[in-house]
Structure formats: C-alpha cells, structure tokens
Chain A
Amino acid sequence: MEWLERNVPKLVLAPSFVAILVFVYGFIAWTAWISFTRSRLMPRYELDGFIQYERLFAAPRWDVAMNNLFIFGGLFIVISMVIGLALAIFLDQKIRAEGVLRTIYLYPMALSLIVTGTAWKWILNPGLGVQEMVRGWGFENFAFDWLIRPDMAIYTIVLAAVWQASGFVMALFLAGLRSVDTEIIRAAQVDGIPTHRIYSAIIIPTMAPIFLSAFIVLAHLAIKAFDLVIALTGGGPGYATDLPATYMYAMAFSRGDLGQAASSAMIMMMVIFAIVVPYLYSELRPRRDQ
C-alpha cells in the first residue's frame, strides 16, 4: 500500500513520459540518423558521413533561407515586442472601453496564419491592394510593390506576422503591467516622479521575466514560420522569401530528398537550441542555488 502510494505519480506519468520519449526524442534521433545517410525518396539507413550537410551549405537557396530567418526573426521579434509594449502601456492608462480595445487588438491572434497570409496577399498586391487604391486617389506615382520585389518581399512577411502577433504580445505585457506591485507605483507617484520615469525605471525592469517569455514565444514562432510564407508569397518571387521550414518541406515532400530535409531540420533544431538552452539555464540555475 505504501509502495503504491509512493509510486502512483510515477505510474500515472509513465505513459506520457514514454510517449514523449518515443515520439519527440525518438524521432529527433531518427531524423539525426537520416541526416547522415543518402536517403532520397524513402529512408535508407547506411551512414554516409556529412554529405547532406555539405550539400546543404553549398546550396544558395539554403543561404537565402537562413538569411531570411535572421531578417524575419530579428525584425518580427523586436517590432512585435515594441508595438505590443506600447499598446499595453496605452491600454494601461485606465481608459474607457479597455475591454473592447483589448479584444480588437487580440483578435488577429484568433485567425489562422493562412487567413492572415491570404488577406495580406491581396492587400499588398500592387494591382489590387493598397498601391492601386492610393493611385486611384490621384497619386499616380505612388508605389508599394514590396510583395513582388525579391529584395523587399521578406519584409511583407514581417509586416503580416507583426500584425498577427503584436496583439498577443500586448496581452502578455498587459498582464505583466497589472502584476506590478501597485504600492511601489503609488509611492513613486507620491514622490512626484514623472510617469515615463515610473515606466522606464520601475515597471519595465520588474517585467523582465515577461520579456523573456515573450521573446521565447516569438522566437519559436519565427523559426517554425511556414504557413504564413506559403499563403503570402509561396516562397517567391523566385525563392526570395524561403525560410528553413519551407526549404525543408520542399526537400522532403516535393523533391524526394529526405536526407537534405533531415539535415535542414537538424540545423533548425540547433538554432532553436541556441536560443532555448540559455533560457533553460537561466531558469534552472536559481533553483539549484536554493
């Protein structure tokens, strides 16, 4: 009986533990194995060194995909956080109809990225959307054709992604703002400290964990970004807006090149690890100190 009492938690957790072990870590290991083989249409298991990684790094398309990931990821994370924080601070001013506004800003998050991508594809299409509308107002030389310019198309993806995610970041920050101890803020107000100083010196620094959470959420959204690109640009013009995830999809499912797909998936995972491991380290360390 005592044994049972002690071991019930373990028994209950065991199935999900096994499932995760197999379906997450097992398949990561499988993908890693495949990335060292010459698998094409079907998986093969004879190891063949780093050939797939050599091919990957020799492919100009992969260079474009990685560059795009850094442009897209960097801008998407920074701009979403800045806009989200600004919206949260404005909403935090005890304004009327806060509930309605909050819902409006949060609403894009309820849409699927496919819907966002398709809608923005029409809005940004030079022959249908904003450009045509402004020209219709009489500004004949107005140009907003980022969607069809290979050098600018990646920024349209940033635009749509920021539109989608900044409301969510706002909600995170708003919760953070509300959790700051009101006593401290009152004390600062009594001391006559201007509002912007209260935010920059007291509230925002105490929200550091929220920033970290927002960063982690946005970073993994950026790295696995796939559906938005497919819906908005289809990776084009040319392959100018390819991201590692779309590269991997093309190799695995369109080209029958499983080895390439596996090696690109491993690189994507390493990029995620590069971000998550320091986070986990900083999260887990204090507990060890206790």
Chain B
Amino acid sequence: MKLKTVLAASTAVMMAGPVLANPQAEVLHWWTSGGEARSVAVLQEQFAAEGGTWTDMPVAGGGGDAAMTALRARVLSGNAPTAVQLKGPAIQEWYEETGLADIGAVAEENGWADVLPAQIAEHMKCEGEWCAAPVNVHRVNWIWGNKQILDEHGIEMPTTWDEFNAAAAKLQEAGVTPLAHGGQAWQDATVFETVVLGIGGPEFFQQALVDLDPEALTSDTMKQVFDQMRTIRGYVDPNFSGRDWNLATAMVMNGEAAFQIMGDWAKGEFLAAGKEPGTDFVCAQTPGNGFLYNVDSFAFFNVEGDDKQQGQALLARLIMGEDFQKTFNLNKGSIPARTDVALDEFDSCAVASAEAMNAGAQDGSLLPSYAHGMALRGAPAGAITDVVTAHFNSDMSSDDAVQQLADAVANAM
C-alpha cells in the first residue's frame, strides 16, 4: 500500500515535472526602433504573464543582416536561439541547412490553417509541417499621395500606369516633384515590383518574379516594365540618390512631392506626424490589381530541453493569439495575419489592406513581395535587384536590361 502511494506520488511528480517547468525563450530579432520595440515589448509582457522567462536578443543593423550573422554564429556553434525573426523563403532555406522545430501541435490545436490565407500559411511550413508563426502582413504595393496637392491640381489617385504618367507630367509642368523616391537599391526594387504587377498582372508577376521563368523575364511585357521604370526615373527629383525612405515620405507630407510608392510602414510616418488618412494624405493600391505581401514571422529552431520546447510552444501560441496580433499591428502599422481579428480600431488604410488581402487570397492575386525577400532566396533576389538598380540609375536600354536580367538570374542559381 505504502509502496503504491510512493509510486503513484513519484509518477505524479514525473508527469507534473515537464508541466511545471518554466517555459524559456531566447528570441533573436531586429525590432529595435521606437514603434517596433514597443511592439515586441507587448509579446514579452504576455510571455511573462504566462509564467515564461524571456531572454531578449535584439541585434540591430543592416535591415536584419547583423541579426542573420549572429544567427549563423549561434547555429554553427550548435547553440541556436529558441525563436528567430525570419521570413519568406529564408525559413525553408534554414530548414534545409539545419532543420527547424515542428510546431504542428500548437498550430493544429489553435486552428491556424482556418484563420490564415493559404498563400501565407504556405510560407510557415517546412515540407508540410508548421515551423514558423506569422506576426503581421505588410502590403508593399501602396501609393501615397498628398491630398492637398492632388486636389489643387485636380488629380485622382491613378489606377493605371498611363494615368500615373499623365498625372505626373501635369504635376511636373506645375513645378511639383511628382514622385518622392529614395535611390537605394531596395527602394528601386520596390517600385519595380509594383510596376511588374501593374503592367504584367498577377499571373505575369508569378511567372517572372516567383518562378523566374526565363521567357517571362525576357518578354515584351518585361521590356514595357523597364520602359515604365525609365519614365518614372524622369519624375523623381534630381537629388534622390541614397535618400532614406522616411525622408521621401516626409517630402510627400510637407508638400514637396505628390506621390510615394512604398509599403504600409510609410503610414506610420504620416500618423506619427499627426496626419489623418483621407484628409491630409491618401492611400491607394499602386496602379493595377493585386496584393504584394511582406510577412514578418518567427521560426523555431531545434532546441534541447523541455523548458525551451515549452517556451517555443507558448511563444507560437501567443504570436498567433488574436490579442497580440491586434496590439502588435496597431503599433507597427501593418495588419494581422489572422483574418478573423476585428479591425474596429484600425485606420481606413489598414482596413482596405485587410479587405484586399482577403480578396486576393480568393482570386490568386495575393503574391509575395520579391523586393522584401518573400518571393525568392537571397542570391536570385539580389541578382534581380542589381539589374533593376543599375538600369534605373543609368541610361541602359530596356532590351539590354531584360537580357541582363535573364543572365543574372541564371548566374545566381
């Protein structure tokens, strides 16, 4: 009898052991600027409230390059962090290199498959198993306009690139810089992909920038895209080289320029300056139809120990929690990856973005952004950006550009 009690007690302790273990998470991320740091703090608080111990590992610099270098060092030394801010095909690339933890149990339990758009859910899976959790969805193909300037010149937000060109020519004649742009490679690439989407349509975008079909890359449509890039080059101010994106946003805000093509993080700049959507600035999708997404996510590496694995499970559950998705994205200016979060507190641009995402998920125009590392792995994406930025900043002809594009993509494989 006594022996039985002891056995039962010790079994209970053994069963309870893992449950009682304190969930641990060491989180590598590069959200260090004001609004981003506030957003991460929300997650940190929720994690602590559930009894977890969060070890913060922020690595600033280089748009995540520094964090990736830190990650490589940690993985090579056999001590991977619990969770890492990773996105797009980099998740699968890391999976192939080192393997990632399977968080399928959490995903099944919380029904992730039902609340995520299928295209975005696909990014979170490694060979069919859930290995990452999405935090937010940024829409890349936005065009921002200064309401006052547009009203003054009687210009509507353009819905085709021809309309954009006509509006820009009119503005230029009136002495207003039509497009605020920063001459950095990734910004050139951002404009480029919106032009590809606008002129070629979603199907062409898929062929050219996701499947890297050589025929699409050298097609006449692609030549038209480069022609349009050349036209756009004429609508930026002469001093655009090297300008940061937020300074370009400030130009629109201050009435020095009429439009900017930039993802919805630009909205944060407008809102921080106390501007109202609809009255001070207008948001619209870039000419053409479709939704280019840039999804931030956390991937989970293989770690030893119950406390760490529980930390991963807890973190994954919290990241996909409705509460966190709402608070985080209100802070960051993006929209929740979950489609079932109430959008009452979000501004009109975010609501429009969410509607477009749901529509795009249905008709297949929900596409990954190549310029922000969602469509392609590092080497081919970089090779395309090299050609785009070289063309935009020189007098290269469209024929040469498509040829170089095809060569560069072939060389990067």
**Chain A residues proximal to chain B, CB less than 8 Å:** 40-43, 55, 58-61, 121, 125-127, 145, 147-148, 150, 233-240, 250-251, 253-257, 260
Contacts and interface: CB of A to CB of B under 8 A. Distances in A.
Interface in B63-83: 65-66, 68-69, 72, 75-76
B111 to A, nearest CB: 32
A-B residue pairs, 10 tightest by C-beta: A238-B393, A255-B378, A237-B393, A148-B241, A256-B378, A127-B239, A255-B382, A238-B389, A238-B390, A42-B97
Given A41-B94, A256-B93, 18 more contacts: A40-B379, A42-B76, A60-B386, A126-B238, A148-B242, A233-B241, A235-B185, A236-B241, A237-B393, A239-B185, A239-B389, A253-B68, A254-B62, A255-B378, A255-B382, A257-B378, A257-B412, A260-B379
Given A121-B242, A236-B183, A256-B377, A250 B382 contact: yes
Task: Determine chain B's interface SS by DSSP, over half rule.
Answer: helix
B394 interface: yes
24 contacts: A41-B93, A55-B412, A58-B411, A60-B408, A61-B390, A147-B242, A148-B239, A148-B240, A148-B242, A150-B394, A236-B184, A238-B185, A238-B391, A238-B393, A239-B386, A239-B390, A250-B382, A253-B69, A254-B378, A255-B382, A256-B68, A256-B90, A256-B93, A256-B379
Of A59, A61, A150, A238, the most chain B CB neighbours within 10 A belong to A238
B31 interface: no
B164 interface: no
Of B62, B72, B404, the most chain A CB neighbours within 10 A belong to B72
Interface in B374-409: 377-379, 381-383, 386, 389-394, 404, 407-408
A143 to B, nearest CB: 10
Contacts of A260: 379
A257 B394 CA distance: 26
Contacts of A254: 62, 65, 378, 382
Given A253-B62, A253-B65, A42 B72 contact: yes
Contacts of B412: 55, 257
Contacts of A239: 185, 386, 389-390
Contact of B98 (A42, A150, A237): A42
Contacts of A42: 72, 75-76, 97-98
Contacts of B97: 40-42
Given A253-B68, A254-B378, A256-B378, A233 B411 contact: no
Contacts of A233: 241-242
Of A40, A41, A150, the most chain B CB neighbours within 10 A belong to A41
B67 to A, nearest CB: 10
Interface of B: 62, 65-66, 68-69, 72, 75-76, 90, 93-94, 97-98, 183-185, 188, 238-242, 377-379, 381-383, 386, 389-394, 404, 407-408, 411-412
Contact of B393 (A121, A145, A236, A250): A236
A255 B378 CA distance: 4
Contacts of B392: 238
A55 to B, nearest CB: 5
Contacts of A148: 183, 238-242
A237 B382 contact: no
Nearest to B97: A42
B404 A60 contact: yes
Given A234-B242, A239-B185, A257-B379, A58 B65 contact: no
Contacts of A253: 62, 65-66, 68-69
A240 B242 CA distance: 12
A236 to B, nearest CB: 6
B14 to A, nearest CB: 38
B81 to A, nearest CB: 15
Contacts of A55: 411-412
Given A55-B411, A145-B238, A253-B68, A240 B379 contact: no
B183 A58 contact: no
A249 to B, nearest CB: 9
Contacts of B378: 40-41, 254-257
Contact of A240 (B382, B393, B404): B393
Contacts of B93: 40-41, 256
Contacts of B68: 253, 256
Contacts of B185: 235-236, 238-239
A237 B72 contact: no
